[in-house]
A = this chain, B = another copy of it.
Amino acid sequence: MKKKSIGIGMMGLGIIGGQVAKVLTEKADMLAEQAGCSLALRKIKVLPVDLERPLAQELPADLLTTDVDAFFNEPEIDIIIEAIGGENPAREYLKRAITSGRYVVTSNKEVIAKHGAELQALAQQYGVGLRYEASVGGGIPLIAPFQYDLVANDITGIYAIINGTTNYILTRMAREGIDFPVALKSAQDLGYAEANPVNDIEGIDANYKLAIMASLAFQAVVKPEDIYREGISRIGSRDFRYARELGFAIKLLAIAKRVDNSIEARVHPVLIPEDSLLAKVDGVYNGILVEGDLIGKVLFYGQGAGPLATSSAVVADVVASAQDITFHVGNRLKWQPDSGKKIKPMDEIETRYYLRMNCADRPGVLAQISRILGDNMISIASAIQKEADDVAQTAEIVLTTHPASEKAMRQALHQIEQLEVLKEISNFIRVEHI
């Protein structure tokens, strides 16, 4: 016996919620055909302040409620969409939705990154679906591939440009030779960066998204605090100039790798070869490269944010939930995280490095630096010494290395800093040959 109509409740009527309501309403016929039943938006939980907004005024008044208990007590709601964002009260609302037997769809990366394991266990216990495709990469399919399309693979690596704001800023810096503060200001003026940009530029947003992807890809619990994180604010226009000279682009990457039972997870700026496909992912676009033993390399590219793209993923999850309800399928995700997997401390990772240093313009400086690197078992791949400043009598030295351990590199940097000839280590960026 198939249900003729599935009831939907939504929490939040901001930019995402508003667009989701619009799609559910305007595309009702098409979605009913896809879902095999009609999808009826029955109630929206809003804040008092939302009632004044134009969108709220356009909707039937009895569709909106500011009373959270009334919302959860609404009888004919089968699916609850959480479009509030942030950790709290979203977490409590999601738990209440699940424990009241509702299928849940959310676009909330923070709550899934921090509490995904708890919520998934609860959804399994209550036999309902928990879907969150919109939490990573907007409308780009990124959750589904790990849950369905790539399940036969042992996923070995994820390399992701997953934050549009930072990618926009880095693209402007690369193209125009401008410095970070100028590019950030421009991004803010154009609405691509928020007035308080810390979540984006410090890699916090990318960190949440990587936690979600790595947990799924490696069947493990990878929490935001397990992931090493550096932002982009210390990248300078000079780094872009040297990177280009060396044949590299600079991107903020979210990287997760697995070797046996050891997981590496980190978010930081990276030099990648300029002919890499990821190097061509510019502006606000996202690009996510996934490596598996069977598929080799697969790249997913698209708009990773924005109300339209996000609504695409939210509504697809609603349709899939409705199909599951129709077919009496409870929680179909087999996510049994393996507690045997360990997160590798950052000290133990191995990668290549780019170093930019300001030194006294004297003979033997490069020799002193090289000796320290050599003593730490780090071998140099390329060296550039130029741009001497005659007045200050300084020279800039740029080095790239072959793979070395982060621990050795940190120790070498510490020793180089003690050199009398060194004015400053201007920058230190990891290099990945992908």
Contact = CB atoms under 8 A, between A and B. Distances in A.
Contact of A140 (B281, B298, B334): B298
B23 A294 contact: yes
Interface string A143-161: 0110011111110000000
Interface string A26-51: 01001101111000000000000000
Interface in A327-341: 327-329, 332, 334, 336
Interface in A258-277: 277
A433 interface: no
Nearest to A276: B280
A297 to B, nearest CB: 6
Contact of A312 (B36, B294, B313, B320): B294
Interface in A101-153: 133, 138-141, 144-145, 148-153
A145 to B, nearest CB: 5
A319 B150 CA distance: 10
A167 to B, nearest CB: 14
B332 A323 contact: yes
Q: Which of A141, A145, A298, A301 has the most CB of B within 10 A?
A: A298
Contacts of A27: 152
A325 to B, nearest CB: 12
Nearest to A20: B152
A303 interface: yes
A308 interface: yes
Contacts of A133: 149
B309 A295 contact: yes
Given A33-B334, A141-B141, A141-B144, A150 B299 contact: no
Q: Which of A144, A153, A319, A320 has the most CB of B within 10 A?
A: A153
Nearest to A330: B327
A302 B153 CA distance: 14
A49 to B, nearest CB: 27
Contacts of A320: 148
Nearest to A137: B298
Contacts of A401: none
A74 to B, nearest CB: 24
Q: Which of A30, A149, A298, A323 has the most CB of B within 10 A?
A: A149
A215 interface: no
Given A36-B334, A301-B301, A329-B329, 8 more contacts: A30-B154, A33-B334, A140-B298, A141-B141, A277-B277, A294-B309, A298-B300, A300-B301
Closest 5 CB pairs of A and B: A152-B315, A139-B295, A298-B302, A294-B312, A141-B149
Interface of A: 23, 27, 30-31, 33-36, 133, 138-141, 144-145, 148-154, 277, 280-281, 292-303, 308-309, 311-313, 315-316, 319-320, 323, 327-329, 332, 334, 336
